[in-house]
Structure 1
Amino acid sequence: MDSSSINSNSKEITMEIPSLVRLYKDGTIERLQNSPIVPPTLQDPTSSKDVVISGDPLISARLFLPNRIRSQQEGHKVPILVYFHGGGFFFESAFNQLHHNYFNKFVSVADVLVVSVEYRLAPETLLPAAYDDCWDALKWVATNTEPWLVKHGDFNRVFIGGDSAGANIVHNIAMRAGAEALPGGVKLLGAFLSHSYFYGSKPIGSEPVAGHQQSVPYLVWDFVYPSAPGGIDNPMINPMVTGAPSLAGLGCSKILVCVAEKDLIKDRGVAYYEAVKKSGWQGEAELFEVEGEDHAFHIHNPQTQNAMKMIKRLSDFLLH
């Protein structure tokens, strides 16, 4: 059960990550940073609608399409972006106000069809379930007869993208796409990772040494995947750890890694980009940094000059 309006003064807290989540003895979960759920809209400049991908397990998505594309005749095809939202694997939603507003702005700039995936969250459903949900969503896109996808989607230009935990999912889905074929011969053209949630047992770059095991990224991983083999050095959260699968196995042709100057985990993103470049992977890797900004700034404030700069860079990556 999820609640944000409970009387916490009368309930015993059994686990807490400050400012993010509280678990209570009675089983209640309080997510402290969720933004409100909002409905899809069919209005200018962007149309959106919700679709069910799977009933068991329950996986759904919100589709976004520029009205200038939706109004055109069949035959004009645009790239398909399958997107995985952030939120530490335990909060936020493809249907919340933050991501809805962000994609309204995004597709007003980029002529793309977005499939924003609603995957199951921890702790009700622990990892690795979210990875499986997102892989199933990508397979659904590849085999789909959904009208917007059929009419407007270019299945030769399928991308995946995500922010924070969603960028972590992007990496893991791209690795899976390198090992497993998608239905219908569909291949991933590219992937972008924005402010990737990667971490490890040993601090790197500017990460503080003191209190590393009490840092938020460390606590979150233990919360969402307590049974992960290797803990915080599981390759799903630390793809550069010794013994991790080679990044040469990434199943796409180009990658864009985005970082923000003030982000606590910025150096993880830079290290990932460098590791991809050195891995022998045959694709094209690019790094894009925005100065003066923090983690997922573009999601929280998509109207700012720097957010528009990032949206334009992502649009260029998808369209060229």
Structure 2
Amino acid sequence: MDANTAKEVLHDLSPLIKVYKDGSVERLKGTSHVPPSLEDQTTGVASKDISISPEVKARLYLPKLTDPDEKLPVLVYFHGGAFVVDSPYSSLFHPFTNILAAEAKALIISVDYRLAPEHPLPIAYQDSWTALQWVASHVIADTSIVKDPWITKHGDFVKLYVGGDSSGANIAHNIVLQAGVEPLPGDVKILGLFLSHPFFWGSKPIGSESKENFDGQHLANRVWSCVYPSAPGGIDNPVTNPFSEDAPSLSGLKCSRVLVCLAEKDLMTPRGILYAETVKKSGWNGEVQLVVVDGEDHCFHLMDPHTEKAKDLIKQLASFIS
């Protein structure tokens, strides 16, 4: 008999994780680990793992250079996984990030923030902000900061982007809002934000959302109560419901370009559409692009990045960055 069968379950977030009343956590997916490579066989992209702080790690991706002193757009990227699974090193995210780095010809810093429930929110937001501050600090002449030579030599900080998928898109949104309140080191500016299938939810349906998904038992609700049990307002906390009454105005996004990528069959798509519309109406002074891919579901491009629709979406992300 499996030891876990006799234990009482506190949170069953299948197919992601199970959390038991004794505090143990069983991850059902997202635990694979792909090593970095000096040259990816398919894309030619080099990758390496670094420490940003004792708590925050990252994997860096450098595409093949045409000039040894070439300057590249910089993308700070946050992986998805409902705040509870996956990492930059997983078999889901490592291949995708290689492809995106090559396609966009961009230097990517894929952030390994700490996961819930062992590290409940807002820890992931704090780790991600730490990572973005560290990346921006490469422009200042502060010798107390341990800098990375790839970023120092090849980063073009006029072209700084922040983006993510699913819960990583939620993080990216919140980090770019925070940059509107707290300037980055060296007064570095974020040029663009991309949100791919962003994890936004709430207690009441909006637009075309079905009422039956708002009985509090939807996976999004169960994930939220597990990852951020102390969130004021619960599922309507502004970090997951940017349309709640006390949410800050989206005019506060500290960037000049936004790309929102969605999939027709994804239950979170109506909120993604509302997000793009709300940014446009907020008085925010920038350019908003909205992409909705027909016939596909949540983060389809990660599950198989080699389908035609996935290739098209990755090309759109790359075009936005480059």
Q: TM-score range by the shorter chain?
A: over 0.9
Q: Distance in 1 between matches of 2:59 and 2:68?
A: 22
| 3-state SS, counterpart of residue 179 of structure 1 | coil
**Which consecutive residues of structure 2, in runs of 5 or more, have no partner in the other structure?**
139-146
> Among 62, 65, 75, which residue is 2:59 paired with?
62
Q: Is 2:141 the partner of 1:138?
A: no
How much is the aligned-residue C-alpha RMSD, in angstroms?
A: 1.3
Preserved CA contact (<8 Å) 1:35 1:98: no
> Among 83, 86, 89, which residue is 2:83 paired with?
89
Q: Distance in 2 between matches of 1:293 and 1:43?
A: 32
Q: Is 2:35 the partner of 1:31?
A: no
Equivalent residue, structure 2, for 1:3: none
**Which consecutive residues of structure 1, in runs of 5 or more, have no partner in the other structure?**
1-5
> Among 200, 208, 211, which residue is 1:209 paired with?
211
| 3-state SS, counterpart of residue 318 of structure 2 | helix
Equivalent residue, structure 1, for 2:11: 15
The structural deviation recorded for 1:211 is 4.8
Residue type at the aligned position of 1:306: K
Q: Is 2:45 the partner of 1:46?
A: yes
Preserved CA contact (<8 Å) 1:191 1:255: yes
Equivalent residue, structure 2, for 1:108: 102
The structural deviation recorded for 1:9 is 2.5
> Among 61, 66, 73, which residue is 2:68 paired with?
73
Q: Structure 1's 208 and 18: CA in aligned 2 closer, same or farther, altered over 3 A?
A: farther
Equivalent residue, structure 2, for 1:261: 264
Preserved CA contact (<8 Å) 2:75 2:160: yes
The two structures have a TM-score, normalised by structure 2, of 0.93
Correspondences of 1:122-137 after superposition (within 5 Å): 122-137=116-131
Q: Is 2:134 the partner of 1:150?
A: no
| 3-state SS, counterpart of residue 16 of structure 1 | strand
CA deviations on 1:114-161 (whole Å, 9 max, x unpaired) are: 000000111111101111110110000011331000111101111000
Equivalent residue, structure 2, for 1:311: 314
Q: Is 2:221 the partner of 1:218?
A: yes
The two structures have a TM-score, normalised by structure 1, of 0.93
Q: Distance in 1 between matches of 2:174 and 2:113?
A: 14
CA deviations on 1:11-69 (whole Å, 9 max, x unpaired) are: 332321232221123322011121411111112411100010001xx101000111x22
> Among 195, 198, 204, which residue is 1:193 paired with?
195
Which ranges of 4 or more aligned residues in structure 1 deviate by more than 4 Å? Answer: none
Equivalent residue, structure 2, for 1:252: 255
Q: Distance in 2 between matches of 1:127 and 1:314?
A: 28
Residue type at the aligned position of 1:262: K
Q: Distance in 1 between matches of 2:11 and 2:172?
A: 29
> Among 223, 242, 246, which residue is 2:245 paired with?
242
- Number of aligned residue pairs: 309
Equivalent residue, structure 2, for 1:176: 178
Q: Distance in 1 between matches of 2:222 and 2:20?
A: 17
Range with bigger deviation, 192-201 or 204-213:
204-213
Aligned residues with identical type, % of pairs: 52
Preserved CA contact (<8 Å) 2:11 2:222: no
Q: Distance in 2 between matches of 1:120 and 1:96?
A: 14
Equivalent residue, structure 1, for 2:141: none
